[in-house]
């Protein structure tokens, strides 16, 4: 293709998880929340649906959202940058910190979008393998001097978290450290408390998982206001629309509802861990809303395929021969069906 940049021609492109439209399907493959968003979200969207609100541009920085989220999280509104999903934030951060020919580092096995972001930017992508327990790395980071590191915490596909000293060590090694906290709402701790003492840390959050709003597309970053003042120059002026801003503001304000959903998801996660273990899976203890499952006695790809034929969609992932199944936490009824089908398959 004439004129296309060579790095774009050379890249394969990120392939998102399958989104099948069959309503009968039990969808446990992309970590969406099985429960609906807060009723206040529906009300807020209805209220935003006026001719005047649709006719005008939305707030460029999402000030109403920033005030609400700032109150809930205990951070300054000026330290928040809004995004069209947290993937948008990851793109903005890449464009801000990484020059063409620069270096991005990330652990593996992890979120595969990071590689695509490096390829689009024309940057080098360097990985380091997690150790067996997912709590350290199997060797030294290739990090010193890297422009940017992406560290998902909890990690996908494992659901595990790195200890704080490992996070701090890495922050000291690179120009900017992005702690991708798409799943932190399900975990016992997160990186917000580290921000005051780690000036090059950027925490990113998503409304797609814990807040049940994957269809709305909303995420945000929290960082030192001095960093926010720079990254704001890179984002599209109106990267979040009036409906997503209304939805996200209502969702973050309804913390009672959020805690109720979280409690249910965590209870089902523990039930899945136990029962999948009894079926012979090696299940990694998870801090997120999914579980990483492997087997030493048989290949797992056929299990994914058999489940798909029975209208249960999970994720089969293969990282250079290290493979496994990533299963999202569903409702208890969905998990009943999953376990019943696994019983007949195995």
Ligand X SMILES: *Cc1c(COP(=O)(O)O)cnc(C)c1O
How does 177-205 read in b/e, with b if 16+ C-beta sit within 10 Å?
A: bbbbbbbbbbbeebbbebbeebebbbbbb
Q: How far is the CB of 306 from ligand X (least distance, A)?
A: 25
Phi, psi of 299 (to 5 degrees): -70, 145
Minimum CB separation from ligand X for residue 219, in Å? 4
Given a contact cutoff of 8 angstroms between Cβ atoms, the answer to whether 90 and 113 are in contact is: yes
Site for ligand X, residues 197 to 236, rule: CB under 6 A: 206, 208, 214, 219
How far is the C-alpha of 118 from the C-alpha of 126, rounded, in Å?
A: 10
The dihedrals phi and psi of 255, each to the nearest 5 degrees, come to: -70, -25
Does 290 bind ligand X (CB under 6 A)? Our answer is no
Please identify which residue in 58, 61, 108, 111 interacts with ligand X, judged by CB under 6 A: 111
- The Cα–Cα gap between 178 and 111 comes to 13
Closest CA to 210 of 229, 225, 195, 190: 190
By CB under 6 A, residue 190 contacts ligand X: no
> Looking at beta carbons only, is 87 or 224 nearer to ligand X?
87
Whole-angstrom distance, CA of residue 111 vs CA of residue 212? 20
Q: From the list 29, 33, 86, 249, which residue makes contact with ligand X (rule: CB under 6 A)?
A: 86
Contact residue for ligand X among 37, 58, 77, 85 (CB under 6 A): 85
Go through 36-53 and write b for each residue having 16 or more CB atoms within 10 A of its CB, e for each that does not. Answer: ebbeebeebbeebeeeee
Query: Is residue 37 a contact residue for ligand X (CB under 6 A)?
Result: no
The nearer residue to ligand X, 38 or 328, going by C-beta atoms, is: 328
Tokens at residue 165, please?
Answer: 């000293």
Q: Is position 191 an interface residue for ligand X (rule: CB under 6 A)?
A: no
User: DSSP readout, 127-141?
Assistant: EEEBPTTSSSBSS--
Contact with ligand X (CB under 6 A) among 182, 210, 222, 338: 182
Handedness of CA 91, 97, 100, 104 (dihedral sign): negative
Indicate the residue among 148 and 342 with the shorter CB distance to ligand X. Answer: 148
Nearest CA among 189, 152, 195 for reference residue 326: 152
Provide the mask over 133-152, with x wherever binding to ligand X is found by CB under 6 A and - wherever it is not: -------------------x
Total residues binding ligand X (CB under 6 A): 12
Q: Which stretch binds ligand X (CB under 6 A): 44-52, 79-87, 135-143, 237-245?
A: 79-87
| Closest chain position to ligand X (CB) | 85
Q: Which is nearer to ligand X, 162 or 342 (CB)?
A: 162
Q: Are 1 and 313 in contact (CB under 8 A)?
A: no
Q: Does 96 engage in binding with ligand X (CB under 6 A)?
A: no
Do 14 and 113 meet the contact criterion of CB atoms below 8 Å apart?
yes
CB of 181 vs ligand X, minimal distance in Å: 8
Closest distance to ligand X from the beta carbon of 2 (Å): 32
Nearer to ligand X, 109 or 152 (CB): 152
Residues that bind ligand X (CB under 6 A): 85-87, 111, 152, 156, 180, 182, 206, 208, 214, 219
């Amino acid at each position: 293709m004439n004129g296309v940049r060579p790095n774009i021609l050379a890249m394969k492109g990120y392939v998102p998880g399958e989104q099948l439209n069959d309503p009968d399907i039990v969808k446990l493959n992309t970590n969406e929340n099985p429960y609906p968003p807060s009723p206040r979200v529906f009300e807020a969207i209805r209220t935003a649906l006026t001719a005047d609100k649709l006719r005008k541009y939305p707030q460029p920085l999402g000030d109403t959202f920033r005030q609400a989220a700032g109150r809930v999280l205990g951070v300054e509104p000026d330290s928040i940058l809004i995004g069209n999903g947290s993937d948008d934030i990851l793109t903005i951060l890449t464009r801000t910190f990484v020059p063409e020919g620069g270096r991005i580092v990330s652990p593996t096995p992890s979120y595969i979008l990071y590689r695509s972001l490096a390829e689009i930017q024309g940057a080098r992508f360097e990985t380091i393998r997690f150790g067996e327990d997912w709590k350290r790395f199997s060797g030294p980071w290739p990090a010193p001097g890297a422009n940017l590191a992406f560290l998902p915490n909890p990690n996908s596909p494992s659901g595990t978290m790195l200890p704080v000293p490992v996070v701090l060590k890495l922050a000291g090694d690179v120009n900017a450290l992005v702690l991708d906290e798409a799943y932190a709402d399900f975990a016992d701790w997160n990186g917000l408390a580290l921000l005051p003492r780690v000036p090059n840390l950027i925490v990113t959050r998503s409304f797609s998982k814990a807040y049940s709003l994957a269809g709305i597309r909303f995420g945000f970053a929290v960082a030192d206001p001095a960093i926010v003042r720079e990254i704001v120059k890179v984002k599209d002026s109106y990267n979040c629309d009036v409906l997503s801003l209304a939805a996200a503001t209502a969702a973050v304000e309804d913390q009672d509802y959020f805690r109720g959903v979280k409690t249910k998801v965590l209870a089902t996660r523990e039930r899945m861990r136990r029962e999948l273990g009894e079926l012979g899976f090696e299940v990694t203890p998870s801090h997120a809303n999914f579980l990483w499952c492997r087997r030493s006695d048989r290949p797992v790809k056929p299990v994914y395929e058999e489940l798909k034929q029975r209208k249960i969609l999970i994720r089969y992932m293969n990282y250079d021969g290290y493979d496994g199944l990533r299963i999202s936490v569903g409702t208890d009824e969905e998990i009943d069906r999953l376990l019943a089908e696994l019983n007949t398959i195995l």
